[in-house]
Amino acid sequence: MILLERGNRILGETVSAKINYDNPEEKIEPIDVKLCDFDDVSYRVLIEPDSRNILQVSMSLPCYKDIENLGAKEAYQKAYGKLVTDPLNGYDVTVKINLDDLKEQKAKDELVASLSCMKANVLSGIFDHFFTAVLNGKPLTEPFRFKLRSDTEVFLFPKNDRVIVIFGLDFKEKVDRAIAKIFMQEFVEAKRALGAAPPCQWAESKNPPIELAHYKITEPTGNLGFISFAVQKSNLDSNKKDRVISVLQVFRNYLQYHIKCSKSYFHARMRARVVTLLAVLNRAKYGEEDKLSGTAKKTAQGKTFTRQESKS
């Protein structure tokens, strides 16, 4: 199992190039870099020509407005503090950094790491909001749902001692749907060997989990299905909460990544098989010498020999 990085490496490298400026005597060049991430997230790194010591990093998160008042805004402000500023037009959050204030290398490295994880820091707020309530013994009463991306919806159902997290999954390509279905079935089977992990269940679209009856989802929805995790209080104790949040918020990306890896592996195996079959066919062809002499033969290994006729 390969877990993805929490942060965006390209965003981190772009920001680091400006924060760790090698030659302070030269003016910092203005930039306006736009880049994308999983879950339809986009970023913008901006240094304007008239204020070259000010670095602005903005992010557009499609589900931000839905989760803003349920932990996302609080997590965002907690992560970036006084760096928080009014978002640029078309973006949901923006931080402004005065490059002249950054002196120590340790502070620069920590800031680069934090900015590269901007999406993770903001998205973790909604999960932290529900998990913290369970840990404090005051679980929330109302469930919540939001669209993580256009083909994935997340449902959160708080209980007295747990929070049930359900991902409604779908894929556009038929091959992806087939691989994802097998992957989910094997994922649930593998969980049985891990006693400490949260229980998980897989339900196809025609049999939605009973919790979804709260949203009147009792009939087939047409999507691939639902994977549910019952995150218990014991899974959140002993400073394990952040680890659980980190894994859950990248679960959809984790699934997509492994589907692509599987397809690449299948293609590699097919290409290797085709090469083997072509080699067999090439060895089976008659050469010019074989056409002239009907007694010349080839072995399975490609060696040529001449059959000697017996004299009576």
Query: What digits encode the pLDDT tens for the residues 189-220?
Result: 877 777 677 888 999 888 899 999 999 998 88
Q: How far is CA 90 from the centre of its chain?
A: 24
Give me the mean pLDDT over the 158-176 stretch: 92
pLDDT of amino acid 297: 65
Average confidence score pLDDT of the chain: 88
Is 0.85 topped by the overall pTM?
no
Q: Is residue 98 exposed (0-12), middle (13-18) or buried (19+ Cβ within 10 Å)?
A: exposed
User: pLDDT band for position 288 (50/70/90)?
Assistant: low
Q: Which of 115-119, 193-197, 201-205, 235-239 has the lowest mean pLDDT?
A: 193-197
Give me the mean pLDDT over the 141-168 stretch: 93
Residue 290 pLDDT > 70: no
> CA dist 95 to 17, 34, 82, 124, Å?
17, 15, 9, 18
Residue 162 pLDDT > 60: yes
User: pLDDT band for position 169 (50/70/90)?
Assistant: very high
Phi, psi torsion values for 61, nearest 5 degrees = -120, 115
> CA dist 49 to 32, 52, 99, 174, 224, Å?
10, 6, 14, 48, 49
- Higher-confidence residue of 303 and 300: namely 303
pLDDT of amino acid 197: 78
Give me the mean pLDDT over the 11-16 stretch: 94
CATH topology of 9-122 equal to that of 139-262? yes
Q: What is 139-262's CATH number, 3.40.50.1100, 3.30.1460.20, 1.10.4160.10, 3.40.50.720?
A: 3.30.1460.20
DSSP annotation of 283: H
- The rounded distance, in Å, linking the Cα atoms of 30 and 8 is 21
pLDDT of amino acid 23: 66
Q: How far is CA 71 from the centre of its chain?
A: 21
Query: Long-range contacts of range 95-100, CB-CB < 8 Å, 24 or more positions apart?
Result: 95/56, 95/57, 95/58, 96/54, 96/55, 96/56, 97/19, 97/54, 97/55, 97/56, 97/57, 98/53, 98/54, 99/18, 99/19, 99/21, 99/28, 99/53, 99/54, 99/55, 100/53
Evaluate whether the domain defined by 9-122 bears CATH number 2.40.50.100.
no
Residue 274 pLDDT > 60: yes
Give me the mean pLDDT over the 258-273 stretch: 93
Residue 32: partners with Cβ closer than 8 Å, 6 or more residues away: 44, 45, 46, 47
Q: CB count, 10 Å around CB of 73?
A: 17
DSSP-derived 3-state class of residue 34: strand
Residue boundaries of the structural domains of the chain: 9-122, 139-262
